[in-house]
Amino acid sequence: MTERNRPTRFRYTGLARAFKANGLTIVLLLLFAVSIGGQLIAGWRVTLEDQLRHGAPTIGLAAYAASPEFVAAVFENWESEFLQMSTYVVLTAMLFQRGSAESKDPDSPPRDEDIVRQALQPDAPRILRKGRFWRALYARSLGLALAGLFAVSFAIHWLASARAAGQEALEHGEAAPTALSYLADPQLWFESFQNWQSEFLSTAVLVVFSIFLRQKESPESKAVAAPHHETGS
């Protein structure tokens, strides 16, 4: 192998190693980019067809991306996802489902019973050694972060949906609702609950299916030969 070829091989090896270590996140983000791009283009085409049908001025792609209709639709979905994840993280800390790969074993001892002692381990997160408050905060940081993302997504969905409702009201010669009054509008809650119910149902289905069904090598599944009564993955 020549000197000229060696750096190329090392760069490729480094990229391959990075992908192996982070492939799940990379692929999921790529799927997200493709999906939201598809939603943007499809939604824009639907809007264009509706505007042409009514003889209204058409909107550009960038303008549609910033429109309250598109923003509300995006964050309506994000809100439900973050609600599902935050609720799931918190509930699985307190509740059990015997036999499920998605549950702790109710007969196992608590994993984080002595955080003070565990914080002294050399590879433990340094924040655990900063005092009781920071230990308590970090011990709940995942659920809090996901709940915070839910709250932000819900607020953006609410405000964008209120703007969209206001524009529609003005087009029909009606008074536009304020953001505060729109918080009591059934349309906002219809948009939210239609996503929330599907998230909770799909999570419950996963919890129950993982008792009896398997996916080879997935950490979300028990080992293929594990008995049905075994709890946790």
Q: Using CA atoms, how far apart are residues 11 and 142, in angstroms rounded to an integer?
A: 35
pLDDT at 149: 98
The mean pLDDT value for 62-81 works out to: 97
The phi-psi region of residue 173 (left if phi > 0; otherwise alpha if psi is between -120 and 50; otherwise beta) is left
Q: What is the pTM of this model?
A: 0.89
Least confident of 7-16, 45-54, 135-144, 200-209: 7-16
186-212 helix and 141-171 helix, angle to the nearest 10 degrees: 140
How many helices (H) and strands (E) in the chain?
8, 0
Q: What are the Cα distances from residue 118, in Å, to 74, 88, 131?
A: 41, 25, 13
Per residue in 149-177, pLDDT (tens digit) is 999 999 999 999 999 999 999 988 999 99
Rounded Cα distance between 86 and 194, Å, is 18
Has residue 13 got a pLDDT over 90? Answer: no
The average confidence (pLDDT) of the chain is 93
Give the rounded percent of residues in the chain with a pLDDT score beyond 70: 95
